[in-house]
Structure 1
Amino acid sequence: MLDITGLNQYYGGSHILNHVNLSLAEGELVCLLGRNGVGKTTLMRAIMGMVNVRSGDIQFDGTQITRQATEQRARAGIGYVPQGREIFPLLTVEENLKLALAGRRDGLRKIPAQIYDLFPVLLEMKHRRGGDLSGGQQQQLAIGRALVLDPKILLLDEPTEGIQPNIVHEIGQVLRRLNRELGLGVLLVEQKLPFARQVADRFAIMERGHIQATGAMGDLNEELVQKYLTV
């Protein structure tokens, strides 16, 4: 579904992504792990076309998208929930969700009922401004907004950061439901190992802009954790 081969990206003279190879199969949930500053967010932004890459290929659903605009990638079926959520604080919940309808491939012009089924709090608060929601509610709104696009895969950058535990649990349940019941592929950047182990099928560890280890989540052993993830 998503295949990244030999991806290189620079900020000035700094080599941020270093020959990155990563794949996400259809219906798979992969967690991208690594310490802060190793290039995880840059990789997510590169997949979405929000930063330019020097070389390498990104293929999605059999199509080369390396030079496509962000809007084209979203319309092709890549949903993205950025770190920090980036909702529109002065717009209502409903307005935030409706903005995403413009990117749907099928021309639908109303919010799918599934969004409110997954996140009932968004229905309860649909007339409240996004900026008035709690951090956890804003995260649910950000995920719901990405799902409005009816994506084939979903990219989430640290969705549990700064979120209260009960909402973290709810987000985990939603991701498992989307992945296991609906077959949605998910690439997840996450720092919380218990959450990653709970939801993911497979892991990839990034260090200094390079993928150092991959495997089934059950194979993420203490040696790898100590070498690449402990601070």
Structure 2
Amino acid sequence: MIQIDSLNQFYGQSHTLWDLSMTVPEGKCTCLMGRNGVGKTTLVQSIMGLLPVKSGSISYKGQNIAGMAAEKRAPMGIGYVPQGRQIFPLLSVEENLRIGLPARRDGLRQVPDYIFELFPVLKEMLHRRGGDLSGGQQQQLAIGRALVTDPGFLILDEPTEGIQPNVVAEIGDIIRRLNEEIGLTVLLVEQKLPFARKVADNFCILDRGRQVAFGEMTELNDQLVKEYLTV
């Protein structure tokens, strides 16, 4: 689904991604892991076109998208839930959801019913302002807004950050449903190890801007956790 080859990125004079190559297999949930500051969000923003790629390629369904404008990602079928949610606090829940409709390829102009089946609370609060929702509800709104675009590939950047445990569990179940029932490919950036083990099929660990380990989640052993993930 996504193939990254020899990707390099810089912040000023700081080299943040070093010849990074990785694959996000189609129909799977891959968890991007690593301590703070190793380049996870930089990689995600590069995929989304929010950072210009210095060198290397990012291929989606065989097409190099590295030089494309960011706004072309959603119509291609790439959904994105950024770290911190970034919903529109002054718009209603319904208005936040409808923002994703123009990016749909099928021309649908109403929020699909399955969004409310996944997140019943959004239907209950359809006319509430986004800023009036709790953190967990805002996270559900952010995921729902991304799903409205009808993506085939969804990026979730730290979706459990600052969320109460019961909603974290719900989000994990929903990711598995999307992955297993409709075959949605997911790239999950996550630091909570129990959540990652529950949700993801594969893992990719970054350290100092380089990929240092990749495999099935069952292969994530104590040695890797201690060396690259433990704070």
Q: What TM-score results when the alignment is normalised by the length of structure 1?
A: 0.99
User: Structure 2 stretches of 5 or more lacking a match?
Assistant: none
Partners of 1:168 and 1:148 lie apart in 2 by 21
Q: Aligned residue for 1:97?
A: 97
Structure 1 residue 18 displacement after superposition: 1.0
What secondary structure, in the 3-state scheme, does the structure 2 residue paired with 1:45 have? helix
Deviations 1:51-104 (CA, angstroms, capped at 9, x unpaired): 011100000012111101111111101000000000000000000000111111
Q: Aligned residue for 1:119?
A: 119
Alignment of 1:119-198 (within 5 A): 119-198=119-198
What secondary structure, in the 3-state scheme, does the structure 1 residue paired with 2:99 have? helix
Q: Aligned residue for 1:36?
A: 36
Deviations 1:108-136 (CA, angstroms, capped at 9, x unpaired): 11001111010000000010000000000
Partners of 1:7 and 1:97 lie apart in 2 by 33
Structure 1 residue 150 displacement after superposition: 0.3
Check whether the contact 1:71–1:103 (CA below 8 A) recurs between aligned residues. Answer: no
Q: Aligned residue for 1:23?
A: 23
Q: What TM-score results when the alignment is normalised by the length of structure 2?
A: 0.99
Q: Aligned residue for 2:215?
A: 215
- Calculate the aligned-residue CA RMSD, in Å: 0.6
User: Structure 1 stretches of 5 or more lacking a match?
Assistant: none
Partners of 2:113 and 2:227 lie apart in 1 by 44
Structure 1 residue 23 displacement after superposition: 0.8
Deviations 1:10-58 (CA, angstroms, capped at 9, x unpaired): 0100011111111112101000000001110010010000001110000
Matched pairs, number: 231
Check whether the contact 1:92–1:129 (CA below 8 A) recurs between aligned residues. Answer: yes
Q: Match for 1:115: what amino acid?
A: I
Partners of 2:144 and 2:22 lie apart in 1 by 26
Partners of 2:92 and 2:67 lie apart in 1 by 34
What secondary structure, in the 3-state scheme, does the structure 2 residue paired with 1:57 have? strand
What secondary structure, in the 3-state scheme, does the structure 2 residue paired with 1:126 have? coil
What secondary structure, in the 3-state scheme, does the structure 1 residue paired with 2:186 have? strand
Partners of 2:98 and 2:35 lie apart in 1 by 35
What secondary structure, in the 3-state scheme, does the structure 2 residue paired with 1:3 have? strand
Q: Match for 1:180: what amino acid?
A: E
